[in-house]
Amino acid sequence: MSGNRNVVVVGAGMAGLGAAYTLRKHGLDVTVFEASPDIGGRVTGKQIDGFHMDVGANVFLESYGTIRQLASELGVSLKRTPVPINGGVYRSGRFHGFYGGGSPASQLKTAGTFLQFRLLSPRGLRQALRFVKMLKARANDLSFDDHRRILDLDTGVSTTEFFESNFGTEVLERFIQPNLSSYTLGYPEEVGAAYAMVAAWDFGLNGGAWPCLPDGGPGVFVNALARACAEGGGGIRVSTPVDRIVLEDGAVRGVVTEAGFIEADAVVCATTATKALEIIPRLPSGIRDVLRRVTYSKCCRVFFGVDSSPFPTDWYAVAFPRETGALMTGMSDSAVMAPETVPEGRALVDALVIGRRAEELFALSDEEASQQVLAEIRNYFPTMARPLFTHVHRWDEAVCLAPGGMMTALDRMRGQDLADVRGLFLAGEYMGVPSTNGALRSGIDTAEDCAAFFSQPAGR
């Protein structure tokens, strides 16, 4: 492969870094332009008084094959979290404990509490069992590593429509919704059915939901990946937004930054779909129309550093099904899952508010937003201590929701309209199964497409 072909990658999130790393492996010259002062995109952390907060993605699942493979290549060790994921679901005026961990004893305990607090009626239980049976039959395809294996499930319907037609809404509201909303930060009406099936299976029902992280959190993996990208020469230029990707006569010419025009033989746009639409003004309508179908959840994440956790001993998280009307969708104590990120003996309460409720908080100051969330937490946990500090993070575009039919439309567009624009490649979570793993996979796959493009005699 010729080393003097130069590729610009726009965005240094999981997708952009995965693309840059793979392009370098092919011997190409790569420069990454990142708009913000930090790399990682939605994998990003913040430090306050010895507490480390992952304000974006905080969990890699054990089932994330692409991350595991690359972590082993980079020498980053991923560890299963040492403790069982215990917690509670709020219903009928109190929390009902669940006990994760995979051991037969804890599974029995989980089944016991399920029956004891009658999460589901016998009818709802039958709905759940039929759903699990359906997922089991497709277990090999329900993976964050390859969206192509689930395209036949992406029939254009939302998760709500899918449950209404196939299983019923009781299992949806009481069981699927709290899980799905904790993972996608969206509601079942917004999330496509195919994506929900992967999330439900991998994030709970297959038992492989165990978090598997580097010591110090996902940022450690991102930093190792960025170092590996930089080692091959070229570089990652932070605080350098790309204003425009220039297309002319059906081909990429380069990018425009504040410093002027930079010529490129190919450009990988690894931003969100929204940003791609903004910075590639001359996109053919076939691509533009499909990118407009990509939607994102909204989330306001509020952290409280406290002397002690308000939860019962050893509980990691609590969930609030939306029928409870709670402000939060879920809350966790990071000190349980990642003790090294919190000063010894202390707790870090992480509250997630999504959708319309998040937008209401966006309109408030940090102080007002955190006071509202704190007051709500105290409704459920009156012993919640006075915070040592609070931190509010607003995500206007949190996680791609892969609305019904989006994956199929993108896949078709990638093989048709996009292939007609020589030298332009798109990467990002929305081009895979939305997650850190899906973003990384999309970056690697796109880089392979780009390398194949250069190996054709006259380009694509």
Ligand X SMILES: Cc1cc2nc3c(=O)[nH]c(=O)nc-3n(C[C@H](O)[C@H](O)[C@H](O)COP(=O)(O)OP(=O)(O)OC[C@H]3O[C@@H](n4cnc5c(N)ncnc54)[C@H](O)[C@@H]3O)c2cc1C
Binding site for ligand X (CB under 6 A): 10-16, 33-36, 41-43, 56-59, 241-242, 270-272, 275, 279, 299, 301, 395, 398-399, 428-429, 434-437, 439
Q: What is the DSSP string of 174-220?
A: IIIHHHHHHHHSS-TTTSBHHHHHHHHIIIIITS---BEE-TT-HHH
**Minimum Å distance from CB 38 to ligand X?**
8
Nearer to ligand X, 12 or 444 (CB): 12
**Minimum Å distance from CB 15 to ligand X?**
3
**Minimum Å distance from CB 64 to ligand X?**
7
User: Among 235, 245, 243, which Cα is nearest to 259's?
Assistant: 243
**Minimum Å distance from CB 120 to ligand X?**
26
At 53, give phi and psi (nearest 5°).
-115, 125
Nearer to ligand X, 76 or 242 (CB): 242
Q: What is the 3-state secondary structure (H, E, C) of 15-63?
A: HHHHHHHHHHHCCCEEEEECCCCCCCCCCCEEEECCEEEECCCCCCECC
Tokens linked to 375: 């007051």
**Minimum Å distance from CB 104 to ligand X?**
27
User: Among 378, 322, 433, 63, which Cα is nearest to 211's?
Assistant: 63
Strands, DSSP E only, in 270-404? Answer: 299-306, 315-319, 330-333, 347-354, 389-395
The enclosing H or E element of 454 equals helix 436-455
Q: How far apart are CA 190 and CA 294, in angstroms?
A: 11
CA dihedral 452, 417, 427, 59 (to 10 degrees): -120
Nearer to ligand X, 171 or 200 (CB): 200
Nearer to ligand X, 33 or 98 (CB): 33
Q: How far apart are CA 313 and CA 315, in angstroms?
A: 6
**Minimum Å distance from CB 444 to ligand X?**
12
Instruction: Report angle CA 348, 327, 90 to the nearest 5 degrees.
Output: 80
Nearer to ligand X, 47 or 383 (CB): 47
Nearer to ligand X, 119 or 447 (CB): 447
Nearer to ligand X, 10 or 194 (CB): 10
Half-sphere exposure of 234 (CA within 13 A, CB side): 27
CA dihedral 430, 290, 9, 241 (to 10 degrees): -100
Nearer to ligand X, 127 or 184 (CB): 184
**Minimum Å distance from CB 11 to ligand X?**
3
**Minimum Å distance from CB 232 to ligand X?**
19
Strands, DSSP E only, in 117-165? Answer: none
Q: How far apart are CA 308 and CA 287, in angstroms?
A: 51
**Minimum Å distance from CB 324 to ligand X?**
21
Nearer to ligand X, 128 or 269 (CB): 269
